[in-house]
Amino acid sequence: MEKHLPYFKLIEELNKKECPICKIIKEEIDLYCQNLFYEYINDVSFRKAFRENFGFCNFHNYLLISYRDVLGISILLKDLFEILQKRRKNSFFKKKTKCLLCNLEEDISKRYISIIADFKEDKEFREKYLNSCGLCIPHYDMLKKYCRTIPTYIVEHQKEMEKYYLNYLEKDIDKLNYKGIEIKNFSPIYEEAAKFLWGYKYSYKKISPNVPIK
């Protein structure tokens, strides 16, 4: 099977200490949001869809605000406040379709899960995968749904990563329970473990940790 740019993009991201699909999603969502303020903000079809859905989902609304493009965000919010002025009782929050950015995330995930399914027996892919942290739990579950059979090396690697994070979390808890430890010299693994457990949405540093992840 011929290898195209998305395959090589996936291989490149396997070198990072993070689920490769999560990393790609973050990059593409970030590019989309940047383009939104320079291109889509004047796009009639985008503005219509944004109004009909009363924005994005809760998570992506907060992500949008985090870019702090005052003019662009103000224009979008103005549209929504105008809807509020014309609203009918109990109808203005009803969304007609799924969040646009959630749809984009799903499309990206499916695209790269499909690549893994196609090249799971490829020697180069296998070597790169075994030297990576593998997939986060959500994307691994998606792979299980997409593939009838998953190679043993992927299944075993996933088990090893789960044990790895569990062991280090137990060690971190023991260290923190020891009063003599200096926190400033301590590098806990919980952030890496959370990314592995929950996927890319946990990885956003620009959003307040108090924002609900849905």
Percentage above 90 pLDDT, the chain: 58
Residue 169 token pair? 């979390």
- The DSSP result for 16-70, as a single string, is SSS-HHHHHHHHHHHHHHHHHHHTGGG-HHHHHHHHHTTSS-HHHHHHHHHT--H
* Whole-number Å distance between alpha carbons of 47 and 45: 6
Our CA angle for 134, 137, 139, nearest 5°, is: 75
Question: H or E segment at 105?
Answer: helix 100-119
Residue 92 has pLDDT above 60, yes or no: no
Residue whose tokens read 């979390």: 169
What average pLDDT does the segment 10-31 reach? 92
Residue 94 has pLDDT above 70, yes or no: no
Residue 16 token pair? 């990072």
Question: Which pLDDT score, from 0 to 100, does residue 125 have?
Answer: 96
Q: What is the pLDDT of residues 81-90, one digit of tens each?
A: 988 887 765 5
Q: What is the pLDDT of residues 106-146, one digit of tens each?
A: 999 999 999 999 999 999 999 999 999 999 999 999 999 98
Give residue limits of the domains in the chain: 5-149
